[in-house]
Amino acid sequence: MVPITDMIVHAWDLAKATGQSTTLDAGLAELGYNVLVNVAEFGRKNGAFGPEITVPVTASFQDRMLGLSGRQP
């Protein structure tokens, strides 16, 4: 599931970098969050992610996933 999550996060990266809509499919964002919640700390220790960005408890799965990956939603 990690490679799929990598593609989900990088789809957001590409959309952001090219000025396109950054809204991800809600189901994919939820899947990505559920994967990252288990591997993000390991990823940070290995340099894959920056520091976690804190988002509100009420944030969407997309924003929580991005925050876990060190991206500013």
Q: pTM of the entire structure?
A: 0.93
22-49: pLDDT as tens digits: 999 999 999 999 999 999 999 999 999 9
- For position 4, what pLDDT does the model report? 95
Using alpha carbons, select from 72, 71, 12, 73 the residue that is nearest to residue 40: 71
Q: Residue 7: enclosing H or E segment and its boundaries?
A: helix 2-17
What is the reported pLDDT for 9? 96
Cβ(29)–Cβ(61) below 8 Å = yes
pLDDT of amino acid 59 = 98
Report the pLDDT value the prediction gives residue 37, as an integer from 0 to 100: 95
